[in-house]
Amino acid sequence: MPHDTPLIATIVAGLGLAFVFGALANRFRIPPLVGYLVAGVLVGPNTPGFVADAGLANELAEIGVILLMFGVGLHFSLKDLLSVRAIAVPGAIVQIGFATALGAGLAWMLGWSMGAGLVFGLALSVASTVVLLRALQERRMIETERGRIAVGWLIVEDLAMVLALVLLPALAGVLGGQEQADAHASGLLSLPASYGIWGVVGVTLAKVAAFVIVMLVVGRRVIPWILHYVAHTGSRELFRLAVLAIALGVAFGAAKLFGVSLALGAFFAGMIMSESELSHRAAEESLPLRDAFSVLFFVSVGMLFDPFSLLSNGLPILATLAIIIIGKSLAAFVIVIAFGYPLATALVISASLAQIGEFSFILAELGVGLKLLPEQGRDLILAGAILSIVLNPLMFLVIDWMKPWLEARAARKAPAMEAKPIGPATEPGQVVSVAAAAKGGDGPPPRTELTNHAILIGYGRVGNLVGAALKKAALPFLVIEDADKTLAKLKADGIETVSGNAANAEVFAAANPEGARRLILAIPNAFEAGQIVLRARAANPGINVIARAHSDAEVEHLKGLGADTVIMGEREIARGIVEEVLGSEVEQTSGY
Ligand code: AMP
């Protein structure tokens, strides 16, 4: 190599191996994130061979966190956030308290100091943003009520950790560690230890509040203005750049100037952008980068992991894991149920929070640095994080499996339950979330009863017009659609739906392609459409397939895979324009 390029090496090795092992994991029907973690272990210092730069990998992963939280913010309004505070605030606080107590208990059994117990417990109490958001996104739950509660809960945890990170150095002396005035330098406005505990808490909260106010007052005006300005330049490149610069800039500024976490800063940047009509475009602009960087998050976690520590620390690791996935879940479950939410909500929240990640590592590092936490504590936290992340998809399977059983028990115990209006569960937002619950984030979607029907895929600009025509002609059909908002509209219109990505085998099978007469592909992505055509032909050689395309190459591609008719959008638009022009010429000439 001509010169040293650790950043490039880290990105290439990280993304390359993550891709290989992610694909492999997928092949064996294991969640791809397990593959990403394995890739991380391989490029990490604990296995022989190439070693990537852990510090760089970590920072790259932070970018992933920023973009993820930014994306979530784009789907949130301040109103959404405030609407879940009644459950998210007490829920997160009680759960943090409970998990911290359990962690401190384990620390006590291991003979550690009280300070060690506190740090250890706190580290076990915060869930990972990346793991939670990806789990919710995969199940299309972010925009349901359950998703909003989980995200709100996460934000409260995030705030609590911001506090913990500034408080620990100030308290280290009292807790039996090493007092360090500037151990956590939170940027320009870092706090001298002489403020005292309440002073530190006060100043930290004041800084968070100042950030929120600045965003609501200044950001709210400036950010949409920038976006509109850039949109008018007509340069797509500049628009993408603007979105990225705002997301990263606000997050970084929040962290450096206000001592708020990067994730929280990005969330606010997204939330402010969501108030402008351009937000959807903005969200899409940041998608590919977001996915790539969040993969690097898992790689960087894998890098920290020493597989041999599993052998020497067996029992304590099991206990740590039990606190994370059983202790925390139980606490969350009980709280959510106590607030009168439905069982399904409680289960989803428990499962999504039953893991730990980036914040726990930061806390562990800080604890070790302050001589509060023994090195063994950090190893336990790391092992607990890896294992709980790997097991997290399993948790969702477990709740799918437990739900019917718990429901049956609940029904037996309290048959009159349903009639009782139960607090927050009867808010208007609930209608949507019931629809969302029925649409099967959990388990395969139920199979349709229709036969001799048309399967319409996509209900956007094209699909909704086709659907309206089919309905008018009283032809039997159903729609496969994967956008929550569109699904809600379809339900309201009383049109049968299968929810999910039609390229997914289970989802597609639920539409009964064997018994269908016609398949209408009204989605813009020709790659996905091609996969679906193949699948449909395999299931039903006689089915009539009509597809949508946007270029001649796509027409070829889809016909090659077996579509009977392919309508090229741009050609039809041109036809409409030509008709309009020539028609008006005719009118004008005949008018004279
Ligand atoms: P439009 O381009 O406006 O016609 O919108 C396309 C619609 O198809 C959107 O509502 C998407 O949510 C939906 N869609 C796109 N891809 C898929 C897919 N693979 N499965 C199900 N729905 C899809």
Average pLDDT, rounded, for the chain: 83
499 and 562 together in one domain: yes
The residue nearest atom 15 of ligand 1, judged by CA position, is: 523
* Separation CA 36–CA 31 (nearest Å): 9
Separation of CA 524 and ligand 1 centre (Å):
7
70, with CB counted inside 10 A (0-12, 13-18, 19+), is buried
**What is residue 215's DSSP assignment?**
I
On whether residue 212 sits in a domain, the answer given is yes
- Ligand 1 atom with the shortest distance to the CA of 464: 4
301 and 354 together in one domain: yes
Q: Which two tokens stand for residue 275?
A: 């108030």
Band of residue 577 on the pLDDT scale cut at 50, 70, 90: very high
On whether residue 515 sits in a domain, the answer given is yes
The residue nearest atom 13 of ligand 1, judged by CA position, is: 458
Give the domain range for residue 273. 10-407
Residue type, 126: V
User: Residue 179 above 70 pLDDT?
Assistant: no
pLDDT at position 425: 40
The model's pTM: 0.64
pLDDT at position 421: 38
Render pLDDT for 261-301 as a digit per residue (tens, 0 to 9). 888 888 888 888 877 666 766 767 777 788 888 888 888 88
Q: How many structural domains is the chain composed of?
A: 2
112 and 256 together in one domain: yes
pLDDT at position 326: 92
Separation of CA 499 and ligand 1 centre (Å):
11
* C-alpha Rg value of the chain to the nearest Å: 26
Separation of CA 459 and ligand 1 centre (Å):
6
* Separation CA 62–CA 101 (nearest Å): 29
Comparing 97-106, 220-229, 415-424, the range with the smallest average pLDDT is 415-424
| Residue at a domain's end among 382, 407, 432 | 407
On whether residue 441 sits in a domain, the answer given is no
**How far from 439 is each of 135, 139, 141, 172, CA to CA, in Å?**
16, 10, 10, 50
* Separation CA 370–CA 110 (nearest Å): 19
* Separation CA 269–CA 282 (nearest Å): 11
Say which residues have a Cβ less than 8 Å from residue 193's Cβ, sequence separation at least 6: 169, 170, 179, 180, 181, 200
The residue nearest atom 8 of ligand 1, judged by CA position, is: 458
pLDDT at position 82: 83
377 and 471 together in one domain: no
494 and 385 together in one domain: no
On whether residue 512 sits in a domain, the answer given is yes
Separation of CA 592 and ligand 1 centre (Å):
47
> Which of 373, 377, 380, 375 is CA-nearest to residue 176?
373
On whether residue 427 sits in a domain, the answer given is no
User: Residue 120 above 80 pLDDT?
Assistant: yes
Residues enclosing ligand 1, CB less than 6 A? 457-463, 480-483, 486, 501-503, 522-525, 528
242 and 115 together in one domain: yes
DSSP run (H or E) holding 349: helix 343-353
Q: Please check whether residue 67 is in contact with residue 283, taking contact to mean a CB–CB distance below 8 angstroms.
A: no
- Range 96-105 average pLDDT: 93
Q: Which two tokens stand for residue 466?
A: 């086709």
The CATH number given to whatever domain includes residue 29 is 1.20.1530.20
On whether residue 416 sits in a domain, the answer given is no
474, with CB counted inside 10 A (0-12, 13-18, 19+), is exposed
* Separation CA 269–CA 144 (nearest Å): 21
The residue nearest atom 11 of ligand 1, judged by CA position, is: 458
Separation of CA 458 and ligand 1 centre (Å):
4
399 and 456 together in one domain: no
- Range 478-482 average pLDDT: 93
Q: Which two tokens stand for residue 126?
A: 């915060």
On whether residue 423 sits in a domain, the answer given is no
* Separation CA 212–CA 198 (nearest Å): 21
**What is residue 77's DSSP assignment?**
-
359 and 482 together in one domain: no
460 and 363 together in one domain: no
The CATH number given to whatever domain includes residue 471 is 3.40.50.720
On whether residue 346 sits in a domain, the answer given is yes
* Separation CA 141–CA 348 (nearest Å): 10
The b/e string for 46-64 (b: 16+ C-beta within 10 A; e otherwise) is: ebeeebbbbebbbebbbbb
Helix (H, G, I), strand (E, B) or coil at 525: coil
Separation of CA 460 and ligand 1 centre (Å):
6
* Ligand 1 pocket test target in 140, 461, 464, 481 with most atoms within 8 Å of CB: 481
367 and 476 together in one domain: no
Band of residue 484 on the pLDDT scale cut at 50, 70, 90: confident
401 and 495 together in one domain: no
360 and 476 together in one domain: no
User: Residue 513 above 50 pLDDT?
Assistant: yes
- Ligand 1 atom with the shortest distance to the CA of 503: 19
* Separation CA 252–CA 32 (nearest Å): 30
The residue nearest atom 21 of ligand 1, judged by CA position, is: 481
